[in-house]
């Protein structure tokens, strides 16, 4: 399997990568849907995590929202793993046209990737809902900027909201368009670290008409039967080995 993937990586000229939570688990960031993942927060908060990360919770109970958000969505000293590094290398070689990610952690950019399409937004871009002022993640991490646990704008005192797509919010239309265009133009589509269970992103694969579809995921997905190559191993281990990363 590895030798076949190496051949595909050598021959691909306009590859696109589409990834999910499994790309970052090797960096120590939990997968929402794993047995040990964030969904077990239900035991602590008494409500479903989908509610805790919803627009409704943000509007109705912002203190609870930010308590959960700050504890669970902000990576604790997470660094890019071999999957992130391999993709950045492929882009630097001119072989990878785009990274499409469902993650919000910014690890692809930290590894050096430049054309990253973040379907669900990013924790690194935060805006004041009152005046529109922009803030880095460091603003939210500084406790002096939080009043009653809620991040506040230094200029007007308004609530600072992460530019993360919450449950109940729509995906950015421009990001969707650019993602679809990238997949349509790809000669190789590599899907990694995602169960392809979240829509509408899961439907993006239908736009692929290229030569090779590769799926790297620890568990089976409904798309396995469509793939030219399926590898059920950790994606960082797979890509790191194929590109000789230590």
**pLDDT exceeds 70 at position 112:** yes
> Is pLDDT of 82 > 70?
yes
pLDDT cut 90: percent of the chain above it: 75
The pLDDT tens digits for 114-130 are: 999 999 999 999 999 99
CATH superfamily of 1-29+80-120+170-246: TPP-binding domain (3.40.50.1220)
Secondary structure (DSSP) of the chain:
-HHHHHHHHHH-SSEEEEE-GGGTGGGTPPPTTSTTSGGGGHHHHSS-HHHHTBHHHHHH-HHHHHHHHHHHTS-SS----HHHHHHHHHHHTT-EEEEEES--S-HHHHHT--SEEETTEEEEEEEETTT--EE-HHHHH-GGGEETTEEB-TTT-PBEEEEE--BTSPPPHHHHHHHHHHHHH-SEEEEES--S-STTGGGGGGG--SSEEEEE-SS--TTGGG-SEEE-S-HHHHHHHHTT--
Return the pLDDT at 38. Answer: 56
In this prediction the pTM is: 0.93
Residue 40: the pLDDT is 57
Among 22-26, 188-192, 213-217, 219-223, which stretch is predicted with the lowest mean pLDDT? 219-223
Domain ranges across the chain: 1-29+80-120+170-246
Q: Give the catalytic positions in this structure.
A: 120
Q: What is the mean pLDDT of the chain?
A: 92
């Amino acid at each position: 399997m590895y030798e076949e993937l190496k051949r595909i990586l050598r021959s691909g000229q306009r590859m696109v990568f589409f990834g999910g939570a499994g790309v970052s688990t090797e960096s120590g960031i939990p997968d929402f849907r794993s047995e040990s993942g964030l969904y077990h927060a239900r035991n602590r908060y008494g409500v479903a995590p989908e509610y805790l990360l919803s627009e409704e919770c943000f509007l109705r109970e912002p203190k609870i929202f930010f308590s959960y958000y700050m504890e669970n969505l902000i990576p604790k000293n997470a660094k890019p793993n071999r999957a992130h590094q391999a993709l950045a290398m492929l882009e630097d070689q001119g072989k990878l046209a785009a990274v499409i990610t469902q993650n919000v952690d910014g690890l692809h950019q930290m590894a050096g990737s430049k054309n990253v399409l973040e379907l669900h937004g990013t924790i690194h871009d935060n805006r004041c809902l009152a005046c529109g002022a922009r803030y880095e993640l460091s603003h939210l991490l500084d406790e002096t900027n939080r009043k009653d646990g809620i991040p506040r704008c230094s200029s007007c005192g308004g609530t600072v909201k992460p530019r993360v797509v919450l449950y109940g919010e729509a995906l950015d239309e421009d990001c969707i368009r650019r993602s679809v265009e990238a997949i349509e133009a790809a000669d190789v589509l590599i899907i990694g670290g995602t169960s392809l269970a979240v829509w509408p992103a899961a439907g993006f694969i239908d736009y692929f008409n290229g030569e090779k579809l590769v799926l790297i995921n620890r568990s089976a997905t409904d798309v396995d039967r469509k793939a030219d190559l399926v590898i059920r191993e950790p994606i960082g281990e797979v890509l790191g080995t194929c590109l000789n990363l230590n």
